[in-house]
Structures are given as C-alpha cells and as structure tokens.
Amino acid sequence: MPDDAIPRRSGASVVTPRKATRRPPFPFTAIVGQEEMKRALLIAAVDPSVGGVLAFGDRGTGKSTTVRALAALLPPMTVVAGCPYNCAPDSTSGLCPACTHGDESQVASVPVPVIDLPLGATEDRVLGALDIERALAEGVKAFEPGLLARANRGFLYIDEVNLLEDHLVDVLLDVAASGENVVEREGISIRHPARFVLVGSGNPEEGELRPQLLDRFGLSVEVRTPEDVATRIEVVKRRDAYERDPAGFVASWAKEEAKLRRQIVSARNRLARTSVPDAALDRAARLCLALGTDGLRGELTLMRAARALAAIEGETSVTDQHLRVVAPTALRHRLRRNPLDETASTTRIERALAEVFGG
C-alpha cells in the first residue's frame, strides 16, 4: 500500500520487520449506504481544494473502512521518481528543494497516498526528523521525511481525531493552512511541500473537537447506522463475505471499482470546464446569509463542492440540485450555535434550503 509505494532512501528502513500479511482493503464500491460520506470523499478526490472531510458519527458504521477503501480506488498519480515528497513532474511551483533544483528526472506512477496517522505517533515521525539510524551508524546528518511528506498530494487520515494529542493538532493545523512543513531540528533546517486533504473521523462520545480544527475541514459528514433491515442485512453479508475471503471478495468488485475510477478521472478533466452560473452563485450567497455562516469560507466551499459534484455527474454547469445536495455537507459545521448538535444543524440547513430554493 502507500508506504511501500513511496520510495525511501536506503538506510531508513533498516528496522523494517518481516512483512505483515495485509489483506486488501474493503472495496469502496461495496460499501452499502453512507452516500453522504462517499460523496464527500469523491468530491475531495476530484477537487482537493474543498479542504478536507470530517466524518463524525455512530460506531461500527465503516467510517475508517470507507477512507481506507479510497486508497485502492483512486487513479494513480505521476511523481518524480525517488522523490520522498511525491513532487509532481510537470509542476514548477510547490516543489521540494531537490526537485526545484533538479534536472530532468525520471517519472514514476504511484498510487495516491492515503496516509494513516496512527494514534500515539510522536512528533518526529509526523514532521520528519534526523535519520536516527544514519546518525548513529555513520554520524551523518540526514533528514528522514515524516508522515506529512508522504501525504503530500494525497490524503492524511486521522481516525479518532478527537483523541489526537494537542501538540500534534497544532502542528497539523499549521501545516494544513500553509501547505508547507518547516522542520528545525538537530541543527538542520528544511522546508518541504505538504499539501494534503485532511480526513478525520471520530465519535462525538469520545470528546469534542476543538473549534479551530472543526473549522479546518471543508466538508463535514454525519454518519449514522442504517435504519432499515434490508440495508443492515446487506452490510453484514458483505462484511462477512469479505472477512471469509478478502481476496476473492475484492476481485468480485474489481469491475465496479474500475468504473468509478474512470468516473473520477473524467470528472477531474471536466472540472476546469464546469461553470458556476451567476444564478447559482447568488443562491449560494443567499443560503449562507440565511444561515448566518461565518465568513466567506462556507460559500467558497459550497461552490467548489457543488462544482466537483457536477463534474462527477458528468454535467458542465452547476445546478440548484447540486447546491442542495452538498449544502448540508459544506455548511453544517459552520453554523454558529451548537456545533455538535448535528441533527439540529441539518434541520436548520434544510429549512434554509426550502426558503432559498422554494419548496
């Protein structure tokens, strides 16, 4: 998976143990229900500038399964071969120091990284630090990139985001805002690009999310256990089939996965040509006004999300329907009172939608 795909310099992996036999992730297309969450992730995959996805809700609803499934679904991206920061070969800005100065380099195709930030990770592994192995053995000062480097141009996933240590949250907020990671350690000073889509999931019972962090996510999804029996049965059946034979189950969904992958690719190509008519802009502004959301960020996210959705659906311009569909996801965490009372926020958005769009 992603971490194997990222080229690493020799010496960094001396302590790499015997390989864990990892089963392939549960296919994205085989996930029953959870449409809002799947839609939000696809929107972020088509247009990373929407700025992250937060999934909060019930236990055992496959929040992490869905995010991890994304890794296998996304079409591969091209990188400068051997670059630990996944620099884009055809880009001229936002490159790491080596690629900025580098000459013509080899191009490689790698899976889009979906990097898991494990709970209990120490700061040096997140930010990157001096390579301890080489320092000890060779007395050489070499920077070993951390998780943020590996997540560049991909996704950074934090499960149980509300349990994350405060100092790590601060670091993440800083990097997510600037798109750049600056490390000053052991007398080395390095800055490298770290643009990633922050994906967080958690359960509100475990504690609340700091308002600053909440605000940092472009889209917010509420995840509920499906209510009807038929859906529940289907969920359990598929999960059971996967547990019994992961490889076989994944193979049986390969066709669906390929289809959705093509859809993402064509949506990305179409995105730049997807227009947002003035009428839609006006509606979006009126909606945000009616809800009293803070600042322009809500409006901007709403528009971008609607545009990405239009592109996914193969359309060339944003309609009211797109706005209506993405409005709860883009706005529910921006309402002023009771950020945790998601049901009430959703109801308020629905009311405002009916007011602005009529009926």
Active site residues: 297
Contact mark string toward another protein, 216..235, x via CB under 8 A: ---------xx-xxx-xxxx
Within residues 80-99, the interface with another protein by CB under 8 A covers: none
173 binds another protein (CB under 8 A): no
Residue 35 CB neighbours (<10 A)? 11
Contact mark string toward another protein, 60..79, x via CB under 8 A: xx--x---------------
Within residues 265-324, the interface with another protein by CB under 8 A covers: none
Counting residues that bind another protein (by CB under 8 A) gives 75
Stretch that binds another protein, among 79-87, 160-168, 190-198, 310-318 (CB under 8 A): 160-168
Q: Quote the distance between the C-alpha of residue 60 and its chain's center.
A: 20
CB of 201 to another protein, least distance (A): 11
131 binds another protein (CB under 8 A): yes
207 binds another protein (CB under 8 A): yes
Rg (CA), the chain: 21
123 binds another protein (CB under 8 A): yes
Among 206, 294, 350, 355, binds another protein (CB under 8 A): 206
The residue among 104 and 205 lying less far from another protein, judged by its C-beta, is: 205
Q: Which residue has the tokens 């907020």?
A: 173
237 binds another protein (CB under 8 A): yes
Helix (H, G, I), strand (E, B) or coil at 209: coil
188 binds another protein (CB under 8 A): no
Contacts 24+ apart (CB under 8 A), 129-138: 129/183, 129/185, 129/186, 130/185, 130/186, 130/188, 131/11, 131/12, 133/11, 133/12, 133/14, 133/15, 134/11, 135/186, 137/11
CA distance 234 to 32: 7
Pairing between β-strand 219-223 and β-strand 53-57 as defined by DSSP bridges: parallel
The residue among 119 and 296 lying less far from another protein, judged by its C-beta, is: 119
The residue among 127 and 284 lying less far from another protein, judged by its C-beta, is: 127
Residue 222, C-beta contacts closer than 8 angstroms, at least 6 positions apart: 36, 55, 56, 57, 332, 342, 346
159 binds another protein (CB under 8 A): yes
CB of 352 to another protein, least distance (A): 18
Pairing between β-strand 114-116 and β-strand 77-80 as defined by DSSP bridges: unpaired
Within residues 6-25, the interface with another protein by CB under 8 A covers: 14-18, 20-23
DSSP result, 164-184: S-HHHHHHHHHHHHHTEEEEE
349 binds another protein (CB under 8 A): no
350 binds another protein (CB under 8 A): no
